[in-house]
Every structure is written in C-alpha cells, then in structure tokens.
Structure 1
Amino acid sequence: MDWKTQKVLVAGSGKSGIGATDLLKKVGAEVIIYDGNDKLKEEDVLNKLENKEDVKVILGELEDSVINEIDMMVLSPGIAIDAPFVLRVKEAGVPIWGEIELAYVIGKGKLAAITGTNGKTTTTALVGEIMANYYDKVDVVGNIGNPYTTTAFDSTDDTVTVAEISSFQLETIHTFKPDVSAVLNITPDHLNRHYTMECYTDVKMSIAKNQDSNQPIVLNYEDPILREYAGKLTNRIIWFSSKQKVNPGVYLEGKNIIYADGKKETFVTTTEDTTLVGIHNVENIMAAIAISINMDVPVDIIRETIRKFKAVPHRIEYVETINDVIYYNDSKGTNTDASIKAIEAMSRPTILIAGGYDKKVSFDDWAEAFGDKVKCLVLLGQTAEQIADTVKKHGFTNIIFTESLKEAVDECAKNAKPGDAVLLSPACASWGMFDNYEQRGDMFKEYVRAMCEK
C-alpha cells in the first residue's frame, strides 16, 4: 500500500490512537484524529504526538463530510465496533482497521501472538524474556502496555515480536497472521461488549483465522471450550495440559514438565524450579514452552529463563508481611476466573478484597471457590451489592462494605490475625474508581506499605 496517498481517520486519542497516528505519520499518511469527547483540548491531544505537523484533530461530533473524504479508519480497541459513528463509517464503505492490523501490515519479522481470558500478561512477559535470551532484537507489545504500533516501523526481518492480544483488538484484524498463536483459556468476560459467549469465543479464536496449516496454535487441553473449538481449526494444534499427557504438546508428569513433538519426549523443567505460584502459572509456563519451542528456541534457554523469571506486577504479587499477615496484590484479577486462580493459590486463611466495574457476569462460580480459604470478604465499587447477594446465596455471610480502597485496606488490617493473608483480587474491572488495574494495584501497595511506616 502506498501510504502517502491515504487519508486516515484515527478514532481515539488515548495510547492506542496516539501510537497509530505516530506510525501513520512515519509512513507518510495524512492523519485526522477523532475523539468523541468534546471536553478534550486539541492542543493536549497534539502534544502527545512525536510529530504533530499537519495532523488535524476533531472533537465531539463526526460530520459526514469527514467520513466521505477518508480512505480508512483505524479504530482504537476501547471503542466498540457497534458505536454509532463506527456504524456510519462502515455504512459509507470505508475500511476499518485496528491498531494490531496496522502494525502487522507495516511491521516485519517473526510474530508470536497470545490471547485468552486469563494468563496473557504473565505468558507474554515470560515468552518475551525467553525470546530476548536467544534472539538479538525482540519487541514485547500489545495489551501488555506497549502498543504494537510503537515498534512496527523500526522492525526488520530479524525482529521477533511477542504480542499480547485482547478480544477488543482482535475485532478489527483482517490479514493478521502470527507465526505462532496461542489461546490460553476462554471463560466469561467482557460480555457487556461481546454480548454472548459464542461471539466472545469466535473473536478470541480469530487469532488463528489466517494461519497456514503448518503454523501452530497453542491451546489449553483442560479448557472444554477450546477442546470443542479445535475441530473447526485447520492449522497445527499444540496442546498443553496440567492433568494429562498430550502429544504433540506440553504436559505435567509429577513435578516434571515435558514437551512431546510426536516423535520424542523432552524434559524441560520442574514446577519447583520457578518462583511463580499456583497451578494456573504452571499452565502459563507450559504455554510459554510450547510457543518458544515452536519459535525455534533451544530448551536449555527456555529452562534457564523460566528459573529466573519473576512474577509480573499486579498478578498475585507479594507486597509485604506485617504482623505475620501476608498482603498480595492481584489487581490484574479483573474477572471471576482470574480471581478464582488467585484464591486457589492462597495457602493461608484469606481476607479477600473484591468489587469494581460491572461487566455483566455471574459471580456464582467465584463464590463457590471460596471453600475454606476465604474467611472474610471486603467489598467496594459498583458490583458490591450484587457480589454480596451472590455469596450469601452460597452460604457466605462475613462481609464488610467499604467506600474506598484505602478503607478496604484499613478494614483488612483490623480484621486480619497472624497467619492470615490479605488478597486484593477484585474479580471486576477497575473502571469508574480507577484509571486502570495498574493504578488500583499501585494504590493498594502504597496503602499497605504505609502501614509499615507507622
């Protein structure tokens, strides 16, 4: 494509939109940034750009005259594909891409792409470190925090890109074709955006829709949705399983993690030779092994990287021990399945902080997971009442309501006894009370560590 002939509307002025605009400017396209928030200031939007020369900014209403003059729209993942202005652009016959498609088309090199409801960030970070310990030029991008568009222009044929891809980003791919793809699991999430589990599943599985028959997709054999969907796939499937032997794939045999390629079985590592806790992290490690071997990394490099790898921030992250009470930050637990994994990883009686933005999901399975682990539930946010009603139906009544995260931490400190754990694992998104889950987790750590100073 001759980008110098293209007039592109970039929808959204956040991190994704700015990354897309910067990339489009580098390849010579004419760019208009559109944001429906008319309270923004044009100058503030332009000041985010590397090169703001000749970039036009439209805030508030998007006129038909603008739609009629553009060749393409790049849609930020935070904007729904059925938003009214998006439907108008689509009806006008204008191609709609996302940032992932844009970066893929412009970028070069090999690509491993990882999606799933939970475990994406840990697996992507681990695969990124494995690649960096073997290849010379590695970019870790996508939903993990660094937009793919920020690295695509400088990539070469020798670049290896490891991308964490969300369902929102997959809605707007067209030719996106990873050398290795992975879907770690699929459980209910973002149904306020995708409406049905069938739609959510189809979007997640579209990560592999353009792959050739010889290009692998790594799947979790213990996920019933993935096992069923596998029959629809035409590319090569590499399974991983924490419960049974799979071949080809990665499996757990006692404490040993084994890779089978259909011809031979190779010992990779053990569950004791890692700092990551919980069976869900064993599965993340197995997925990373399958991806890395199929990206041609030697097993000894993989083994050594796993041994040294540290947990990513905000995912069952150790914070402090105060009066023999251990505080864990699992702010990345933004849905019920992720929070269940964190609860299962606890080895002490646990005071659980939960609640937040309502994504229209059920909390029944989450409440059932409390078992004898959760001794007290501290709630905050939009979903507090809904969660309380649900856990009461399941026989759990030790509930404390709070108005802020600071109050929640204070209540935990009052109620915790030596030998307990305090776990922030909200089972909900952070929106409404916080900018993102990182801010929520950082504030939790700040409040906890402030107690050490008293």
Structure 2
Amino acid sequence: MNRRKVLVLGTGRSGIASAKQILAMGGEVIFFDANPKLDEKKILAQFKKKEEMKISKILKGKLFERDLLKIDAAVISPGIPLDEPYVLLLNAAKIPVIGEIELAYQSLKGKLCAVTGTNGKTTTVSLIGEILKSQYADTHVVGNIGNPFTAEALDTEEQSATVCEVSSFQLESIVDFRPHVSAITNITPDHLDRHKTMKNYIAVKESISINQTEEDSIVLNYMDPELRKFGKKRNLKPKVLWFSSEEEPKEGFFLRDDEFIYKSKDKEEKLFKTKDVQLLGKHNYENIMCSMAVALKMGVPMDKIIKVCKKFKPVEHRIEFVRERSGVRYYNDSKGTNVDAAIQALRAMPGPVLLIGGGYDKHVDFDAWVKEFKGRVKYLVLIGETRNQIAACAKKHGFHNLMFAEDMDEAVKDCAAYADPGDYVLLSPACASWGMFKDYEERGRVFKDCVKSL
C-alpha cells in the first residue's frame, strides 16, 4: 500500500485499524461509510495529527463513479456484504477489493495460525494465544476476537507468533492469506442471511486452506461430517491433524471416556482428564483438543500445552459464571449467537434451566434447539424480533412454559422469580444481538449488570 490511494469501506473498529496500517505504510486514505449521518469529527479524533493529514476525504451516504478517480485499491470491513451496490461499483471499475485480514497479512512476519468455524472460535483462539505465550515471547492474538489484525501486523517480527480468529465474512475477501497452521472447529448453519445457502457457507469456511501448501497443516473436527469429508479430499494440500470428542481417529487428539489422548504414528499419550480443566461441556473439550493440535503444529512442546490447558479459564460471554443467588447459578453465554452454540451451552448446564433466548433474525430455524428443551428447560423467556418465531417453534414441539420480556432487565427478573434453589439461569440467545444491542458483548454486559443488581 506504499504511496497508494486506498478507499477504506467502513469506519468501525476494523476500518479504523485498516486505515492506520495503510497510513503507516505510506499510503493515502479515503473513507467511505454508507451512513449519511456519520460524524466526521469522531472518525478523525481516532487519528494522530500526522495521520489525519493523509486522510484526504470522508465520503458518506452514497458512492459515485467520480469518487473512484485515481483510487488504487479498496479495503472492505467484514460487516459489509460483497453484493452491496458500492462494492459492485468498485468491481465494475476493476479496482481490487481486499479485506482487513488480507491487508494485515501483507505486513505480517513470523508464524501464523488461523482458526475459523461456526462455534468455538473465540475460546479456541484465546486458549491457543495463552499456549503460544508460553513458547513465544512475542505473541499476537488478533482478528474477529475483537483486536483487529491490522492493529498489530506491523509490530510482528520474524520470531513472532500470531493466532487469528477468522470469520466467514473475512474469508470472503482473502487473496494470498496463508496460515502455517489453520483450523476449522465445526460447520453448522449460520449467517445464511448473508451466504444464502449452506453450500456457499461451507465453501467459504473451507477456503481458509486455499493458499496452504504441503508444508502447512490444517486441524479439523473428526466428528463434523462436512469436515471429515473435506479432510479426506485428494486435492487438500496441507497435512491434516484430527480432533474428536467421540470416535478415535488414527492420528490426532481425542477423548476416551474422561481422558484426553494424543495418538501419533508411533505412540499414544494419555494427557490429562476432563476434571483437570476449568471449561464445562463436550464442546469445550473439543475446543481444548483443537487448541492443543494447533499449538503442537506451531512448535509448542506438549508439557507446556498441558500446563496451560489445565489453568485456562472460560472467556467472557461464553458460558461465563456470573453469580450464585439464593441457590440459583447465573451463566452468561451471550456469544451463543446461533442454534448450535446455544445447544452446547444448554447441554453444559448440570441442572434445570431457565433460559433467555431470542434476538436478531439470521434466517435459520430453531427446531434443533427447541428439541433439546425436554427434560432441561423449565421456563423459556424470549426477547427480540425472533421471539414470536421461537415461541411458535417451541409450541409446535410441545413446549409451553414460555414468557415474553421487553428488555433484559425484565427477562432476568422473570427468571429470578420462577427459579428454585439448584436451578440455572442461562442467557444463550441462539440469535445475534443487533436491534436491541450494539453487539453480543454489550448484551452480555447488560445481562451481568441485571443479575448483579438483583
């Protein structure tokens, strides 16, 4: 991006970080945001004076052909669909459009591992980051986890190790992005409002390996039918290392009863037991095994991997214990933004559950989630635009213990009123947060505040 004029699409956290990298590389930035009421002063306040001088324009509302004169390239924020009219305008003008992780990758030094998948990414990436820190003095944990890749790419060195959480939105715009080790945690229906079909969604997730070679590795979930099929394709270049919570692959990490096992070509190692870790549920055991596999391929010795796995605590907003009150335990799983994640959180609860669900409509059905309610959920409290849809689905499956709440405070108070000692109150919405909250993090913080103020 040296001395090039680059159009940055989007002025959120990713767009700002991308602009800062472009400016640091000697490029010139023009911003575009579809919001016509965008506050330009707030955007510029995030830059130093020297940087601000190289931001030539802030365009907003609508992009015109005349705005593209002398533009060399465009960087798109992951939240922007590739079929937006202004993105199609760029394509028609033959202006290269890349994503934030591709831009970051162009400046990266050292070793890189990248994790994608429908669920488990944040926990897995956080754990990998902690393991890498035990081996590499300079470790960077970046990507969709909340710290933009572009914010740290220029600070990496040849001895650095970077782990990147990559969403399907980010994978849509990669060009040369090539991790030394990639991983796909699982693939279940999600974001079909953007990707339209499961076939498209699966293809995007699997594209994390598209630039990998025989020198690289990919870690895959042996229990995921799509990934098992993908891992056995003849044209898949990176070496495959499996992890499994049920069956035992010939090579890889797996669970045997309550013990974590690693099997290589010439030996089998018993590592530790499920009671030795602080994460709850089978899905978290899968996250641990995926993390161990990635770390091993990144060159971390097994003894260091085991030590970190035993100490690691749950990440915020993912089956996070909030408090116990009157014998009732409250858990925040605001990051359960899709059906499969919500199922895993529900299965992790060891007693009767009062469940808070609902939110933004991503055009998925809720049948699989509702089928898990029998024998587990005492009451379902629904919020957000999907509440009528979920209520209808619940009634269709014979579940009628449900209530509507107008906001999180009302939902939490309803649960507290109906809970008995030994019950669990769980926020695991199976939906995105948009509409009621800025993001899942805000939703989780509001939930925790409501619980703490009971």
Shorter-chain TM band: over 0.9
**In 2, distance between residues paired with 1:176 and 1:327?**
41
Q: Report how far residue 261 of structure 1 moved.
A: 2.3
Aligned length: 449
| Alignment-derived partner of residue 151 in structure 2 | 150
SS at match of 1:281: helix
CA contact (8 A) 2:121 2:185 kept: yes
Q: Report how far residue 187 of structure 1 moved.
A: 0.2
CA contact (8 A) 1:259 1:290 kept: no
**In 2, distance between residues paired with 1:262 and 1:10?**
48
Q: Report how far residue 234 of structure 1 moved.
A: 2.5
**In 2, distance between residues paired with 1:355 and 1:49?**
38
| Alignment-derived partner of residue 193 in structure 2 | 192
Out of 291, 296, 303, the position equivalent to 2:294 is 291
**In 2, distance between residues paired with 1:342 and 1:297?**
30
**In 1, distance between residues paired with 2:401 and 2:158?**
58
- The question of 1:323 aligning with 2:323 is answered no
Higher deviation after alignment, 306-315 or 42-51: 42-51
Higher deviation after alignment, 67-76 or 256-265: 256-265
| Alignment-derived partner of residue 63 in structure 1 | 64
| Alignment-derived partner of residue 434 in structure 1 | 437
Higher deviation after alignment, 62-71 or 402-411: 62-71
SS at match of 2:69: helix
SS at match of 2:365: coil
| Alignment-derived partner of residue 26 in structure 2 | 28
SS at match of 2:426: strand
**In 2, distance between residues paired with 1:343 and 1:14?**
33
Q: Deviations over 1:347-391 (max 9, x none)?
A: 111000000000000100011111201111000100000000001
Q: How does 1:356-435 map to 2 (within 5 A)?
A: 356-435=359-438
| Alignment-derived partner of residue 54 in structure 1 | 54
Q: Deviations over 1:424-443 (max 9, x none)?
A: 00000000100000100001
Q: How does 1:16-415 map to 2 (within 5 A)?
A: 16-50=14-48, 51-55=51-55, 56-232=57-233, 233-415=236-418
SS at match of 1:16: helix
CA contact (8 A) 2:23 2:54 kept: no
Q: Report how far residue 68 of structure 1 moved.
A: 3.2
Q: Report how far residue 45 of structure 1 moved.
A: 1.1
| Alignment-derived partner of residue 13 in structure 1 | 11
SS at match of 1:392: helix
Q: Report how far residue 247 of structure 1 moved.
A: 2.5
CA contact (8 A) 1:355 1:426 kept: yes
Q: Deviations over 1:218-241 (max 9, x none)?
A: 000111111122233232111100
Report the TM-score when normalising by structure 2.
Answer: 0.98
Letter in 2 for 1:52: E
5+ residue gaps in structure 1? none
**In 2, distance between residues paired with 1:93 and 1:68?**
12
Report the TM-score when normalising by structure 1.
Answer: 0.98
Q: Report how far residue 54 of structure 1 moved.
A: 2.3
SS at match of 1:429: coil
CA contact (8 A) 2:113 2:294 kept: yes
SS at match of 1:272: helix
**In 1, distance between residues paired with 2:369 and 2:258?**
28
Letter in 1 for 2:253: V
5+ residue gaps in structure 2? none
Q: Report how far residue 113 of structure 1 moved.
A: 0.2
**In 2, distance between residues paired with 1:173 and 1:347?**
42
Q: Report how far residue 47 of structure 1 moved.
A: 1.1
SS at match of 1:204: helix
Higher deviation after alignment, 259-268 or 100-109: 259-268
| Alignment-derived partner of residue 445 in structure 1 | 448
**In 1, distance between residues paired with 2:84 and 2:336?**
27
Letter in 2 for 1:196: T
CA contact (8 A) 1:68 1:92 kept: no
Q: Deviations over 1:116-139 (max 9, x none)?
A: 000000000000000001111000
